[in-house]
Chains A and B, each alone.
Chain A
Amino acid sequence: MCSACGFPAAPGHWTEAGAANAHERLRGRFRRAQVLQRVLPSYNLSVSETNDIPGIQLSTLTGSQSIVSHLDEVWALAEKVNGAPVDPLDRRFIGEE
């Protein structure tokens, strides 16, 4: 573990179980960022993935930055920023397009 930033966190968040090797883990990271970026902007957050920082990098509209270690923390941060959780059953996701 890096003594400066505390990463990597406890190994094996359940969402990471689908990758068998380093290539797939890397692909998974970029894909995760891509999916998050479809969802988070409407909750006043954006995500960036440059593969030089461990964890998930999030920033708010005012530019404040956070690095979290897994998805549960992403949703917790989104709830903190918006006052309500990201609800996949919200109208913005299930409304007729």
Chain B
Amino acid sequence: MSDTDGRIRLIILGGYLGSGKTTWLRHQLHEGNFQGALVIVNEAAETPIDDALLGGSERLAVLAGGCVCCAAKQDLIDLLRRISDDRSRAVSTESPLDLIILETSGLADPGAIVEAIRSDPVLVYHIVVSEVIVAVDGLHGMSQLRSESLSRHQIEVADQLIVTKMDAVDQAELALLLATLQVMSPGAMISGAVKGVPHQLPEFSQAKAESLKDLLAEDVKAPILPTRLHLDDSIDWTAFTVWLSALLYARGDDIVRVKGVIRTPAGRLLLQTVRKIVQSPEILPEQGDTREDNIVVMIGRGFTHSQLTKSLRHFVGRQGN
């Protein structure tokens, strides 16, 4: 208690799009870690998906429709102030909230969030950022580091790095990634995970880190933005998958992440992709009428909402044709 002076500890869980933040957190909650914590999920898109997966947490708040390190920074500050207020007013017999876990969107720079909390005149008395945990995609991490300055910023501010998807990568590539991470963020503790379960890191002391080229202005691509697609009733799962599989095949490097919940005859399917890789869709339980299904969020660059809609419309055709 002494090191936090009665303040609420805040753990920031960050990492690039599709790096496995929610998967890791979901497993921790399932294991009973972070007891009593309030989980705040931030998503850049207006439609939250991840909160459907984090049903295991006792207390959950969602901040959707903007990334809290930039566009929705004020929303986060307001929420945290409200939480601090409530805690100060709470009766002493209730167990007080002493831990918040903030799962950022994949587009967030955790450094900017730490900065925002530390420089807020109210929050500084109530909340202390105890740790920045960053998930690193074992499979795509190296290529993200080469091309995206955001993924470099995320790693540089981490206290703890969790390399995910360890089972899907070959040992030499993994060693290169680990050695590079260690050079970029020498103070961070590095561990491995497969679907949230801790996984032994391979020996990498002999591996040589890759010296990353500075990203020049011409290498900096268009910003990655979320686009929200509404699949109306005329769009069936089969037509949608034909379209999406073609799109990912041709444009997988620019369509960084796809997330959505789609209603099919088999039930509500959770669809998630990271670049060209599609996770086996998971069947979600019914969550009442309050949730909006058949919304797909596509995060990437090089396309517009109207192009996606027209293209999908072309693939689907008129039913019965």
Q: Chain B nearest CB: distance from A25 CB in Å? A: 10
Question: Are B238 and A17 in contact, CB atoms less than 8 angstroms apart?
Answer: no
B315 cross-chain contacts in A, Cβ below 8 A: 35, 38-39, 88, 93
* B250 partner, pick from A31, A35, A87, beta carbons under 8 A: A87
A61 located at the interface, meaning its Cβ lies under 8 Å from any Cβ of chain B in the complex: no
Question: Are A88 and B243 in contact, CB atoms less than 8 angstroms apart?
Answer: yes
Contact mask for chain A residues 14-53; partner B; CB cutoff 8 A; 1 contact, 0 none: 1101111000100010011011101100000000000000
B213 located at the interface, meaning its Cβ lies under 8 Å from any Cβ of chain A in the complex: no
Contact count band on A:
20 to 34
Contact count band on B:
35 or more
Q: Chain B nearest CB: distance from A1 CB in Å? A: 20
Assembled-state Cα–Cα distance A93/B250 (Å): 14
A17 in contact with B242 given A86-B249, A89-B251, A94-B311 (CB within 8 Å): no
B239 cross-chain contacts in A, Cβ below 8 A: 31, 35
B122 located at the interface, meaning its Cβ lies under 8 Å from any Cβ of chain A in the complex: no
Question: Are B303 and A35 in contact, CB atoms less than 8 angstroms apart?
Answer: no
B264 located at the interface, meaning its Cβ lies under 8 Å from any Cβ of chain A in the complex: yes
B278 located at the interface, meaning its Cβ lies under 8 Å from any Cβ of chain A in the complex: yes
Q: Which of B246, B303, B307 has the most CB of A within 10 A?
A: B246
* B269 partner, pick from A17, A24, A38, A71, beta carbons under 8 A: A17
A15 in contact with B241 given A75-B249, A86-B250, A94-B314 (CB within 8 Å): yes
Question: Are B245 and A93 in contact, CB atoms less than 8 angstroms apart?
Answer: no
B residues 262-321 in Cβ contact with A at 8 Å: 262, 264-267, 269, 271, 278-281, 302-303, 306-308, 310-312, 314-317, 321
Starting from the known contacts A32-B238, A93-B314, 16 additional A-B residue pairs (CB-CB under 8 Å) come to: A14-B278, A14-B281, A18-B237, A18-B241, A18-B264, A18-B265, A18-B269, A19-B265, A28-B237, A39-B246, A87-B250, A88-B312, A88-B315, A89-B303, A89-B307, A89-B308
Which B residues lie at the A interface, using CB under 8 A?
236-239, 241-243, 245-247, 249-251, 262, 264-267, 269, 271, 278-281, 302-303, 306-308, 310-312, 314-317, 321
- List of 4 A-B pairs having minimum Cβ-Cβ separation, nearest first: A18-B237, A18-B264, A15-B241, A75-B249
